[in-house]
């Protein structure tokens, strides 16, 4: 019945900067771009689809969108997305060279290594290397 996660939506005020981060740094490829008028549903929105090895991100920009308050502590609800990496050391060194701060880790457990970064909007992204 259910097959897979089709896409993750990210709402941003900075569409071009966000596209550059995901395409230029994380290696996503650009899909389609469109402006959706949304007649009768409020303000129009710009959409950009990005793809990485079968995983899709839908970037959205609404005219007049306001940022949600940043949580101070752990809370219920969506937390972050995770990207699987082949080699944690190489991935974190690459990101640091591109000016991306590793905000947590890396740390290693028996079956995985884990670290966290933030995208250009400040949204958290987990990096995960599985030891198989």
Q: Where are the domains of the chain?
A: 7-62, 81-130
Write the CB contacts of 93 (distance below 8 Å, at least 6 apart in sequence): none
pLDDT, tens only, 30-77: 999 999 886 666 788 999 999 999 999 999 998 877 777 766 777 667
With b meaning 16 or more CB within 10 Å and e meaning fewer, what string describes 17-40?
A: ebbebbeebbebeeeeeeeeeeee
What's this model's pTM, rounded to 2 decimal places?
0.88
Side-by-side strand order, sheet with 124-130: 81-84, 124-130, 112-118, 102-108
Domain 81-130 sits in which CATH superfamily?
A: 2,3-Dihydroxybiphenyl 1,2-Dioxygenase, domain 1 (3.10.180.10)
Q: CB–CB of 130/111 below 8 Å?
A: yes
CATH class of 7-62: alpha beta
pLDDT, tens only, 54-64: 999 999 998 87
């Amino acid at each position: 019945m259910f097959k897979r996660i089709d896409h993750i939506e990210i709402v941003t005020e900075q569409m071009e900067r966000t596209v550059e981060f995901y395409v230029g740094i994380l290696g996503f490829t650009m899909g389609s771009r469109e402006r959706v008028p949304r007649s009768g549903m409020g303000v129009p929105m710009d959409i950009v689809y990005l793809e990485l090895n079968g995983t899709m991100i839908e970037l959205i920009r609404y005219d007049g969108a306001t940022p949600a308050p940043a949580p101070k502590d752990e809370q219920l609800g969506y937390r972050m997305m995770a990207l699987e990496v082949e080699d944690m050391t190489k991935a974190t060194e690459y990101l640091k060279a591109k000016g991306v701060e590793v905000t947590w880790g890396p740390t290693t457990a028996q079956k995985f290594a884990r670290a966290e970064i933030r995208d250009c909007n400040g949204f958290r992204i987990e990096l995960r290397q599985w030891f198989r």
